[in-house]
A and B are shown apart, each in its own frame.
Chain A
């Protein structure tokens, strides 16, 4: 017999499988490389952080669409609730905390402002039309009231909260109002003016001014109650001035609307259409209502600041923001509002751009004189001026 090596081939399984442990080498690994498989066990199985991350969503970047979607996260009944809350001041309830927090939105304010722009422009045109009923010339509607209304309302909605936020930040107010919340409150506070602007069509002077007062008091009241906690730790003077200014701006906005869009002169024939003078020029009596602008338009030649030649009739030349002068004009408005027989005095409030009350009072007298003169010479000058204009 030859000495053959017993190779010992076996099938797998079975009893005769022999594993020779002594000859094998086992190599145990200690150094595990980083691999995804082992991640679960690396930090000792602490999964609590995972849940927390899911709840706190990372706020999306400014440039994505989702960033803006978070401002529109409201439901219908929430919007209704906020609108009604902005109109009813309740001393023991802070509107901001009750209705707006925790998610301020921009849907309500934006659409309220847009609606207000259109209702003001439309109602203004309607009031205009109704006041000219029966006359035998063509009444034409003024589409450009829309652009002016839009500029005024949107700047009010953004500028005042901006100033207020800056002021609160400067005074280190502890109330913690974010800019978005202030924007939201201000936007909703304009909601009351929408039905009021429709009611302003009714051409009864005391009724219009009553509506102004009601609107300003109600939504101004909500604003005041909302912002009082922000300044109550401050010095008394600053706090009262701040609150007073809030109310005053709100009132001026309403008064400005009435005077610009809804003013109807009691004597149509005495109105003189002029374009608005710039600050350097002496103020003329601007006409608010394009009632007789066919016949009287020629008077516009007296004022040569025709920077916008296609807008001869209204105060559309007054494209600068009226807001700057709102504070100073309100006192003048209130004075003039009591004077019923001189409708043109009220209009002078729009004229001056300087914040100088004295010069304005002086100017108003001058304006009145000029208006009287103009009234006397209207028909005589009409033809002459038309010729001059065609030459120019």
Chain B
């Protein structure tokens, strides 16, 4: 009988039975990260900074994964509300006139339902991207078109609308459209197998095309 060792009874009392569950080598954080303890300004600024970083990535698209890793829907919501407010048609019930433009709700629906449908299409084709990541990217990439809308709106302040001004507006919207499509392909193209890339990209192209059409057709009175 060889390998059984017997300790003296007193040895057992000296072994400490306390300790941390955390593995050795990691710093033990005493306080858990809790947003209740920090000033509201910090909480808000953290999210604002996250949104801002994503806008920056859209405006200067390099194939990074920042948009995909931590998606959020704040940016798309801000853009959607902004665009819908600017694009909504005036409806003057007294004279039963309207300027033919979409209502706020219609723009809202086109934006979100469009993003959802395009995302569903990507997933049905077998893309390996999660639902909200795709909606997030599609929403953020509307930012260049929003900038084009602002430019158009500024141009429309001028009373006398000439053909030259229309051409400037048209060029601005086309540039915005190209930029948006390019930015979204930079983020989304890798999620599809190569024999279906065009099938997945075409709905994105159509989505931005429709939004561009809404912007260029908007001629407020």
Taking Cβ atoms with an 8 Å cutoff, the residues of A that contact B are 65, 68-69, 71-72, 74-77, 79, 107, 111, 114-115, 118, 122, 125, 138, 140-144, 290, 297, 300, 306, 309-310, 312, 389-390
Contact = CB atoms under 8 A, between A and B. Distances in A.
Contact of B209 (A72, A79, A118, A144): A118
A122 B206 CA distance: 12
A122 B213 contact: yes
Contact of B213 (A77, A118, A306): A118
B203 A111 contact: yes
Given A118-B213, A142-B100, A310 B91 contact: yes
B93 A143 contact: no
Interface of A is mostly: helix
A72 B196 CA distance: 10
B99 interface: yes
Contacts of B213: 118, 122
Q: Which bracket fits the contact residues of B?
A: 20 to 34
Given A114-B206, A115-B206, A140 B219 contact: yes
A143 B96 contact: no
Contacts, number: 74
Q: Top 4 closest A-B pairs, CB basis?
A: A140-B100, A72-B124, A143-B102, A141-B217
Contacts of B195: 75-77
Contacts of B63: none
Contacts of A74: 196, 199
Contacts of A79: 199
Interface in B181-198: 195-198
B132 interface: no
Interface in B124-151: 124-126
Contacts of A122: 213
Interface in B161-213: 195-199, 202-203, 206, 209-210, 213
A90 to B, nearest CB: 25
Contacts of A68: 124
Given A69-B126, A111-B121, A312-B97, 17 more contacts: A71-B124, A75-B195, A75-B199, A76-B195, A114-B206, A115-B206, A125-B217, A138-B99, A138-B221, A142-B100, A143-B100, A143-B102, A143-B214, A143-B217, A297-B96, A309-B93, A310-B91
Nearest to A390: B94
A118 B94 CA distance: 31
A100 B96 CA distance: 50
A140 B185 CA distance: 33
B201 to A, nearest CB: 10
Nearest to A70: B124
Contacts of A142: 100
